[in-house]
Structure 1
Amino acid sequence: MPHAPLDDSRFPGLRRRGFLAAAGGVAGLGALALAGCGGPGTTGDAAGGGSRPRRGGTLRAAFAGGGASETLDPHRTNLFADAARAKALFDKLADQGADLSAQPRLAASWEPNDGLDRWRVKLRKATFHDGKPVTAADVLYSYRRIADPKEAFRAKASLEPIDLKASRAVDDRTVEFVLKRPTAEFPNVLAAFGAYIVPEGARHFDDKPVGSGPFRFVSFTPGRSAVVERYDEYWDGAPHLERLEFVIANEESARVNALLGGQVEYAHELNPTTARAHEGKGQVEIVRLRNSAMQAFAMKTDRAPFDDKRVREAFFLIADREELVKGALSGAGEIGNDLFGKGYEYYADGLPQRTQDLDKARHLLKKAGADGLKVTLDTSPVAAGFTEAASIFRDQAAKAGVHVKVKVGSKDTFWTDTLDSGTLASYRSGAMPIESHISQRLLTDSTTNATQWHHKDFDALYQQAQSTKDKKDRAAVYERMQRRLYAEGGFLVWGFADWILGTARNVRGVARDAPANTLDWARFDKVWLA
């Protein structure tokens, strides 16, 4: 089926800036959060029209994208645009609620055996866009596709506890998952980022993908736009909108100009300066999602100079986190402590807050034989604050005798390049359970292991935590793992940024208090136009 072309005349601001391909790394993903029905914490009546949902209309949402390589394959989601499109077209067995606990979606319920190594999942009555029911066979096919050893699907590591050869369909709407070991938090596996359910046998998704999500496919032009329309038979209620269009605009200024000019109704990922300039002025609505995106530098622990843990500790001590938050985020965030998940369940909040200590940093570098160290810091304007943070850290490092060369790379390939190449890179992540962060980024076989943290004993601790039935005992294992990361890990987590987005004044249902990457993230099916 040919892709419908985007009428550039409708988006002069976007055309002028160009549909440049750029990564907007999710997952990690700080992200937009959209919740339903204008309840507490959502954008309300400022533009008039009340809070009662109105049916119909087209909402156009501007995102940074990934260029001509973009895909609608939900198992390959990595960018913000990918994830938002996937959530519109597909669904998962579970998703994470506001507290990051697993909430049922296509799964109506789940129940473990006494040994925690077999879980039965009951499916709700739901249909794909072609009218066929979602069945246990579709679930098993989807998970086996994700787990294909020849592929590098992001959710693969999260599904690792499942013995997919032994797992079976009990009946059309019941799946029995057989696990390789007892797993107390198995519902988090069902909610894993990218673990979408597709029809059995589905392999090609860019021409006419069939999902079970709230919208169904109309057209797709990689790097430019995707159009979807309301699916009236959606199990969670038909969307209010008639159509939803994802428009790719990689430069933040292009997204803002399109929003101000009425060419789009939603602009994803605004920087703090833009937010301050337009907040409260009456032309657009600014939505701040507090503490949504981890901001970090990723040190490759498998290569010089960061294969020496003394060098990594020195870099922890070089960072002036308050200066980084103030300068790179314009104060729109809070300082980090070299661990992911501040404020989440199992977060090790008892560890001392790191502060800059240049004398100790110099001492550690000298002991490591790294006097006068020179290192390249890869960064890109792919994300707000990246290049600013890199420049600030370069100046901080100079005070410890470290020469940091800031290398600004392409938006198009930054996220894929820095997974394997280089030694030091700007990094960020959105919300997810701490155990999901570990499984996706810190295990030996994790597919997005940006710090190349490969330790079999650490893998064993993760498996121990997953197999521990008592929650208090499980928390103790997670704290032990975090203490090790705090001492010698590869993520220099200097801050947690607010996520900022802008909407037109007539947009309703945009949540202000939902963490990024949770159930109400990208809930365009619950948004309407007043």
Structure 2
Amino acid sequence: MSIFRNRREFLALTGAAAGGIALTACGGPGATDEAAGGGEPRRGGRFRALFTGGGEQETIDPHAESLAIDMARTKALFDRLVELDATMAPVPRLAAKWESNADATVWRFTLREALFHDGKPLAPEDVLFTFARILDPKATTHFAQGLLSVIDLKKSRAAGGNVVEVALKRPTAEFPALLGTLGTAVVSSRYADPARPAGTGAFRLKTFQAGRSFVAERFDDHWDGGAYVDELHVLAADADARGNALRAGEAEFGYEMTPTFARTVQADRSVRVLAAKGSTAHAIVMKCDQEPFDDPDVTLAFKLLADREKLVQVVLAGQGVVGNDMFGKGYQYYPEDVPQRTRDVEEARALLKKAGVLNRTLSLYTSSVANGFVEAATLFAEQAADAGLRVKVTTGSSETYFKDQLTKGVMGSHRSGAMTIPNYLNDRLLSTSAFNASAWRRKDFDAAFATARSTTDEAERTRLYGRLQRTVHDEGGLLVWGHPDWLNAVSSRVRGMDAAPPNTLHSARFDKVWLA
């Protein structure tokens, strides 16, 4: 992986060594409102954003994006029909509005006036071409292919100058939200070469080198007013290099910073940490198709053993909130009225004794692939010992962990970034889900999910998704112990950027930032 591991290498690429922008220390954590984003926006300058690199695997193909650095680059160059807000609810972008028929099998999207970088206006044909490209069976790297397979391309059509009618193979009340997910950006019907993109985004490509750098310039004819900065540089750098560059004034944005970095810069007025509270999920999964977790009493016992507050304080350094064995805290369709599960060692011991589990040694498979995985597994094993239970922690390869986890150990470490609750249930908890790490397979659950997905009445759909979440809370193999804060950082000169959950409209969004 070609990423920058020292200051000299980073400076050589950014040009900072030859007179790059010097940043002034005019604010930090606890600084004034103006330092956090007030004042009148002004144009000009170069904005340098640092992400974990992916080497030669990086791409600017918006339908093959899989890394955070890919997403930042394609977000600059392209727009989606729909984006997701901080609660994971859909909000308009290239689609100004939408409506469906009575059973949510046909959706009509009214497009706003927008121009591609080649000067051609956005048209329904571009949207239909985009869907066809995403769903091309030969394009195995197109991330949204599974989610958008519900589209019936043969029956979809242009329905007027600025209206596209999308027919679906089955009722899908959450279809607009699907269009706000990874790999769904709209491309021109003339799009043929990913190296020469023509999107509708706020920036237009200048140069791109996988694993190294990306430079784009402001597109003045952007439908949403265009960017404030003249140039956007998206660069690959490891965690230490990101932090060092920010503190030295050699970058304006650092993606996914650690809790340790956040503590370190508390008194540093040149850097401001953007903390989106509880925006991701950390869990321990128990495989419900294997003994002893095929017994719901055993999965409940393990949930009762977790000291969630201690896990958050120790593993997340207090940068997060406790979990309640359901995904999506704070998101649309999350049942907030479910009582918070607390630790009860005596009740857990009684359940485990009844199930005959106390004398067994159970394996928990983990890896250093994600911050906190090994630490959480080790601490949970200590907590389980309080009930007389033996948990053996096994550390596997970080390169193949998420694949290996499906076959190794009866428990495993699990994390998820921000996504809609329906998408999480679809991807992780159905009998056919490819990433069903808890091996939760119940036909009644699958049927209830299908009913919720096709229910057009929002109140009833909310009730049905809430019932599904309660079922997972009570009976499933998902021990969600915490929701880490999502930590990014910016230079104190940066204005117009606030904390936002990952995979949402305002996450890593650089068209509205400006430099003081």
Q: TM-score, normalised by structure 2?
A: 0.86
Instruction: Identify which of 194, 199, 205 aligns with 1:211.
Output: 199
Q: CA RMSD, aligned part only?
A: 3.1
For 2:419, the aligned partner's letter is M
Aligned residues: 495
CA separation of 1:344 and 1:138: change in aligned 2, threshold 3 A: same
2:35–2:495: 8 Å Cα contact kept in structure 1? Answer: no
Aligned partners of 1:373 and 1:105: how far apart in 2? Answer: 52
CA separation of 1:119 and 1:483: change in aligned 2, threshold 3 A: same
1:163–1:179: 8 Å Cα contact kept in structure 2? Answer: yes
Number of the residue aligned with 1:134? 122
SS at match of 1:460: helix
Aligned partners of 1:307 and 1:145: how far apart in 2? Answer: 42
Greater than 6 Å deviation, 4+ residue runs: none
Q: Which moved more, 1:259-268 or 1:50-59?
A: 50-59
For 2:43, the aligned partner's letter is R
Aligned partners of 2:32 and 2:59: how far apart in 1? Answer: 31
CA separation of 1:145 and 1:517: change in aligned 2, threshold 3 A: same
Q: Which moved more, 1:389-398 or 1:307-316?
A: 307-316
Number of the residue aligned with 2:22? none
Is 1:55 aligned to 2:43, yes or no? yes
For 1:169, the aligned partner's letter is A
Aligned partners of 1:45 and 1:64: how far apart in 2? Answer: 29
Aligned partners of 2:94 and 2:302: how far apart in 1? Answer: 44
| 1:232-284 superposed Cα distances (whole Å, 9 cap, x missing partner) | 2221121111211222223x222111211222221112222321221243121
Aligned partners of 1:216 and 1:305: how far apart in 2? Answer: 55
CA separation of 1:508 and 1:192: change in aligned 2, threshold 3 A: same
| 1:199-250 superposed Cα distances (whole Å, 9 cap, x missing partner) | 3374652x33332211222333333332222222221121111211222223
1:153-192 to 2 correspondences below 5 Å = 153-192=142-181
Which entry has the higher C-alpha Rg, 1 or 2? 2
Number of the residue aligned with 1:277? 264
Is 1:197 aligned to 2:186, yes or no? yes
For 2:113, the aligned partner's letter is K
Gaps of 5+ in 2: 13-29
Aligned partners of 1:480 and 1:9: how far apart in 2? Answer: 48
Is 1:46 aligned to 2:42, yes or no? no
1:319-398 to 2 correspondences below 5 Å = 319-365=306-352, 370=357, 371-380=359-368, 382-398=369-385
Residue 318 of structure 1 deviates from its aligned partner by: 2.5
Residue 87 of structure 1 deviates from its aligned partner by: 1.1
Gaps of 5+ in 1: 17-40
Is 1:524 aligned to 2:510, yes or no? yes
Aligned partners of 1:126 and 1:426: how far apart in 2? Answer: 44
Number of the residue aligned with 2:485? 498
Number of the residue aligned with 2:84? 96
Instruction: Identify which of 257, 273, 294 aligns with 2:281.
Output: 294
Aligned partners of 1:418 and 1:221: how far apart in 2? Answer: 33
SS at match of 1:526: coil
Residue 126 of structure 1 deviates from its aligned partner by: 1.8
SS at match of 1:220: strand
Aligned partners of 2:377 and 2:114: how far apart in 1? Answer: 47
Q: Which moved more, 1:106-115 or 1:316-325?
A: 106-115
For 1:283, the aligned partner's letter is S
1:304-315 to 2 correspondences below 5 Å = 306=293, 309-315=296-302
Aligned partners of 1:268 and 1:352: how far apart in 2? Answer: 34
| 1:418-438 superposed Cα distances (whole Å, 9 cap, x missing partner) | 467665433323333322322
1:220-231 to 2 correspondences below 5 Å = 220-231=208-219
2:377–2:393: 8 Å Cα contact kept in structure 1? Answer: no
CA separation of 1:444 and 1:148: change in aligned 2, threshold 3 A: farther
1:340-489 to 2 correspondences below 5 Å = 340-365=327-352, 370=357, 371-380=359-368, 382-400=369-387, 401-407=389-395, 409-410=397-398, 412-415=399-402, 418=405, 423-489=410-476
CA separation of 1:9 and 1:416: change in aligned 2, threshold 3 A: closer
- Which structure would you say has the larger RCO, counting Cα contacts within 8 Å and 6 or more residues apart? 1
CA separation of 1:436 and 1:262: change in aligned 2, threshold 3 A: same
1:154–1:440: 8 Å Cα contact kept in structure 2? Answer: no
| 1:153-174 superposed Cα distances (whole Å, 9 cap, x missing partner) | 4433432443233222224532
Residue 365 of structure 1 deviates from its aligned partner by: 4.4
Instruction: Identify which of 87, 97, 101 aligns with 1:109.
Output: 97
